[in-house]
Structure 1
Amino acid sequence: MTAKDTSSITGYHAHVYYDAASKAAAEALRAAIEERFEVRLGRWHDRPVGPHPQWSYQIAFTPEVFAELVPWLALNRGGLTVFVHPETGEALPDHRDHAIWLGEKAELDFDALK
């Protein structure tokens, strides 16, 4: 196996998945993230958008924030699924091959990334 150079990672995105029944939990998680971390929070998408099969919002963050945020999400996601992927400039492999799932894995629409 040839190791990939992590310097190609310019940032990360985490996508918090929710539905009508879990939106309040997603709101509480978002407020806690905003209070604790240096991140950019994306819009609420109350419908599937792009490759994401569920409602979601995005959390964009730098590589330096990863070591604090992702373990915190693992312990504090409140039963929500969180999909985390690096940003290397290659959307398909970032979402398909280099993803981290916290909670239930969902099937992404990879055609939306081509």
Structure 2
Amino acid sequence: MTIHDFHVHLYFDAAEVERAKALAVALATRFDLPVGHFHTRPVGPHPRGSVQLTVPTERFGAVASWLSVNRGGMTVFAHSSTGDDRADHRDHVIWFGPSEPLDMSLFG
């Protein structure tokens, strides 16, 4: 199975938007990562507001190490991107902070 890259999703509630933006900027700056759109409501399988950063495989170890001590109490959901969306969101996952239930129904 080939891992194309990793997706890191920062989860936030309305009161945490600015903290999420600051964390996204810190990640983007430190690791040269693109920052996706800030969704202020649940989108796709994600249970809360979120933003996605796409991490090349060769940088994921450094990103995960940094997040483990710098996430500022925010919940972060990370998963590999192999082309099997269901498995990527169910089986190939790492949580920083408490895990949250995903809506897997859209994956069939």
Fold in common (TM above 0.5): yes
Tell me which structure has the larger Cα radius of gyration. 1
1:20 maps to which residue? 14
Shift of 1:25: 1.1
Among 84, 92, 95, the alignment partner of 1:90 is 84
Alignment TM-score, normalising by the size of structure 1: 0.91
Cα deviations across residues 71-94 of structure 1 (Å, max 9, x unaligned)? 111111111100000000000011
Mapped to 2, the partners of 1:98 and 1:91 lie a distance apart of: 10
Partner SS state of residue 84, structure 1: strand
Q: How big is each residue's C-alpha offset from its partner over 1:48-92, in whole Å with a ceiling of 9 and x where there is no partner?
A: 000000000001011001111111111111111000000000000
Quote how far apart the aligned CAs of 1:102 are: 0.3
Q: Distance in 2 between matches of 1:55 and 1:107?
A: 13
TM-score by length of 2: 0.95
Q: What is the CA distance between 1:27 and its match in structure 2?
A: 1.4
Which of 75, 79, 91 is the equivalent residue of 1:81? 75
Distance in 1 (alpha carbons) for counterparts of 2:32 and 2:107: 27
Please state whether the residue corresponding to 1:13 is helix, strand or coil: strand
Q: Select which of 41, 53, 69 maps to 2:63.
A: 69
Q: Distance in 2 between matches of 1:113 and 1:70?
A: 26
Match of 1:60 in 2: 54
Q: Percent identity?
A: 44
Listed as ranges, the gaps of 5+ residues in structure 2 are none
Q: State the aligned residue count.
A: 108
Is 1:32 paired with 2:26? yes
Read off the aligned partner of 1:98 and give its amino acid letter.
H
SS at match of 1:41: coil
